[in-house]
């Protein structure tokens, strides 16, 4: 069982690197097998199809995203700073050499029109992020609608940073978030 679990992790992490770096459709299962350093039999025993690998990678990305956001938010001392910590997390992410935007947006762009499970996973990920931002805003005394607006700012920063190659988009989004917060939340 340990070998199967370790193989699964290696396969998902290898596929994630390949899919994120090259695109899902351009990566073959043989490339995933080689990158994960597993036998073809082990690959197909663990994941009977490429579609299964794609969904496992999206779940892996969601877990990475949620744990990264949680660490950033939990480290902030006040409710307002917890909201803004999301944008600080984005800046750190955008600075990574391999940053190519949101893996869910990328997967949706490649497969969303023809593969409903990918579209559903992307929609659920975005819905969960909007919900998180709404909860953070409500903890600071604001409305859930502001949380959705702040989530849209973060989403725009992700896409713009990926296209322009400029991590400063996170700081611009943070500045806009601070202005919205100052205008919308009760005075401290």
**Which residues, in sequence order, are CB contacts of 25 under 8 Å at separation 6+?**
110, 111
Number of H helices, E strands in the chain: 9, 0
pLDDT number for residue 88 = 98
The DSSP H or E segment spanning 137 is helix 116-139
86 and 131 belong to one structural domain? yes
pLDDT number for residue 165 = 96
| Domain membership of residue 123 as a residue range | 55-184
82 and 43 belong to one structural domain? no
The rounded Cα 173 to chain-centroid distance in angstroms is: 17
Mean pLDDT, the chain, rounded, equals 96
Residue showing tokens 């193989």: 7
What CA–CA distance (Å, rounded) separates 103 from 17? 11
**Cβ density class 97-121: b for 16+ within 10 Å, e for less:** eeeebbbbbbbbebbbeebeebbeb
| pLDDT value at 188 more than 80 | no
43 and 59 belong to one structural domain? no
pLDDT digits (tens, 9 = 90+) for 38-55: 999 999 999 999 999 999
26 and 67 belong to one structural domain? no
Structure confidence at residue 145 as a pLDDT band (50, 70, 90): very high
What CA–CA distance (Å, rounded) separates 72 from 63? 14
pLDDT number for residue 1 = 60
pLDDT number for residue 15 = 98
Cα torsion 168, 130, 142, 149: sign: positive
| pLDDT value at 186 more than 80 | no
78 and 7 belong to one structural domain? no
pLDDT digits (tens, 9 = 90+) for 82-128: 999 999 999 999 999 999 999 999 999 999 999 999 999 999 999 99
pLDDT number for residue 2 = 67
Give which of 73, 89, 90 is closest to 81, Cα–Cα. 73
Q: Tell me how crowded residue 175 is: count the other CB atoms within 10 A of its CB.
A: 13
Residue showing tokens 């940073």: 161
75 and 100 belong to one structural domain? yes
6 is written with which tokens? 């370790």
Structure confidence at residue 3 as a pLDDT band (50, 70, 90): confident
pLDDT number for residue 4 = 82
68 and 134 belong to one structural domain? yes
Q: Are 126 and 155 in contact (CB under 8 A)?
A: yes
102 and 172 belong to one structural domain? yes
């Amino acid at each position: 069982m340990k070998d199967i679990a370790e193989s699964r992790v290696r396969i998902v992490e290898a596929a994630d690197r390949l899919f994120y770096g090259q695109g899902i459709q351009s990566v073959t299962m043989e490339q995933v097998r080689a990158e994960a350093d597993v036998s073809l039999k082990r690959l197909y025993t663990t994941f009977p199809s490429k579609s299964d690998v794609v969904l496992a990678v999206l779940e892996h990305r969601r877990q990475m995203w949620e744990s990264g956001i949680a660490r950033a938010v939990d480290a902030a001392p006040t409710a307002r700073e917890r909201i803004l910590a999301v944008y600080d997390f984005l800046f750190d992410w955008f600075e990574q050499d391999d940053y190519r935007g949101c893996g869910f947006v990328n997967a949706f762009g490649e497969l969303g029109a023809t593969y409903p499970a990918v579209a559903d996973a992307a929609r659920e990920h975005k819905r969960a992020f909007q919900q998180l931002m709404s909860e953070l805003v409500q903890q600071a005394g604001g409305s859930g609608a502001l949380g959705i607006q702040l989530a849209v700012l973060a989403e725009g920063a992700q896409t713009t940073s990926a296209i322009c190659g400029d991590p400063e988009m996170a700081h611009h989004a943070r500045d806009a978030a601070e202005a919205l917060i100052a205008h919308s939340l009760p005075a401290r």
